[in-house]
Amino acid sequence: MRLIIDAHLDISWNAVSYNRDQTEELNQINQRELGMTDSRAREGACVCLPEMRRGGVAVCLATVLCRAKRDVQPLNGPLRCDLDYGTQNIAYAASMGQLAYYRALERSGQMTQIKSAADLDAHWSRWQVPEKSGLPIGYILAMEGADPIIEPEEIDLWWNEGLRSLILAHYGTGHYADGTGCEGGLTKKGEQLLAEMQRVGMIMDVTHTTDRSFEEAMDRFGGPVMASHSNCRTLAPRQRQLNDEQINTLIQRGCVFGISMDAWMIAKQWTRGETSNANLSLAAVIDHMDHYCQLAGNASHVAIGSDLDGGFGAAQRPKDVGSIADLQRLGELLADRGYADDDIDRILHRNWLEFFQRHLPAT
């Protein structure tokens, strides 16, 4: 079994908002959700800590995820799993609640936070054993959408909590930038936030940025960049994905791209809630990986950022993914496409491992 690094998992959001105990077995989680109708994701969970261990997922980027949108007010009131809060203060409080879940998992030995390259090396060494069942999952704290950071100067507060990677926006208009589904760019606060991120050494994740936000952020930010869960617009022609020009720009900056398992980001034609995944398999994920490799001329820039259990269920992921442990199948499929063992290791873990060894603080 090859070890895996997954650069995007919403573990605490699933726990706090979907009430999923991430230490339980997968069948127990889904059994508890039988008959629930608040989300299409119900009864279709595929991520939990036992399955991560079974699949050799030794390290992940684990998110906190909240938005601040005063104008979003569902007629029947907000659901527990909703992401939108009325103000940045409330979004901050909610995100701290998500962080508290990771802290609880740390105290029980289920997870361990990775803040530095030294932490990463030590944790990776611990996983070089045949038996993984008792090992903690290592996590690097990431934020998907910067709204919980009330003012740019608060970047130090979050840095001290271990935040190492930041996406400026999520869906819609954010306080720092426009995200998926919009067309605008950075706000003045967004420009200030990028300066603060560069000062402390935080990684900018370009996922979810609009084309304009992307261009403006890349012009202003001189620190390390990544794309935690971003597929190829050439193969899935939607604004959410990266186009070839953006990909080439990012390759020149040493970026690593994580491939998402969300069918809407994989398939050429897909309508949420309508299209069937009957003809969509992990082979289509390999197509996206291969496209990145062809643009780069090597396998040194593509990796995994699965986004599994990112608010979508079994109907919106490849039909042959029933558990996060099925990410192991990517190795076989890459070999079938002619990828060498060294390149397969790069894609499954080594590209992310080397990226974070370079860009996390040394100690």
User: Percent of the chain beyond pLDDT 90?
Assistant: 96
248-300, pLDDT tens digit by residue?
999 999 999 999 999 999 999 999 999 999 999 999 999 999 999 999 999 99
pLDDT at position 47 is 98
In the structure, what pLDDT confidence band is assigned to residue 235 with cuts at 50, 70 and 90? very high
Report d(CA 269, CA 248) in Å as an integer.
Answer: 24
| Overall number of domains in the chain | 1
pLDDT tops 90 at residue 196: yes
Q: Alpha helices of 221-304 — where are they, by DSSP H?
A: 244-252, 263-266, 282-296
In one-letter notation, the amino acid at residue 126 is R
User: Percent of the chain beyond pLDDT 70?
Assistant: 100
Mean pLDDT along residues 108-118: 98
CB–CB of 61/308 below 8 Å? no
CB–CB of 197/204 below 8 Å? yes
pLDDT at position 132 is 85
Cα–Cα distance list, 361 to 162, 193, 346 (Å) = 11, 19, 22
129-141, pLDDT tens digit by residue?
999 889 999 999 9
- Computed over every residue of the chain, the mean pLDDT equals 97
DSSP state of 112: E
165-194, pLDDT tens digit by residue?
999 999 999 999 999 999 999 999 999 999
CB–CB of 250/257 below 8 Å? yes
pLDDT at position 72 is 87
Cα–Cα distance list, 202 to 147, 194, 351 (Å) = 16, 9, 18
pLDDT at position 172 is 95
pLDDT at position 74 is 86
pLDDT tops 90 at residue 71: no
pLDDT tops 90 at residue 76: no
Report d(CA 88, CA 151) in Å as an integer.
Answer: 9
Q: Angle 211-220/188-200 helices, nearest 10 degrees?
A: 50
In the structure, what pLDDT confidence band is assigned to residue 73 with cuts at 50, 70 and 90? confident
Using alpha carbons, select from 87, 95, 246, 78 the residue that is nearest to residue 175. 87
CATH for 221: 3.20.20.140
Report d(CA 274, CA 36) in Å as an integer.
Answer: 19
Range of the domain at 317: 4-359
Residue pointed to by tokens 């299409």:
40
Would you call 25 helix, strand, or coil by DSSP? Answer: coil
Torsion of CA 205, 330, 233, 182, to 10 degrees: -40
In the structure, what pLDDT confidence band is assigned to residue 355 with cuts at 50, 70 and 90? very high
Report d(CA 85, CA 43) in Å as an integer.
Answer: 25
DSSP state string for 115-140: -SHHHHHHHHHHT-SS--TTPPEEEE
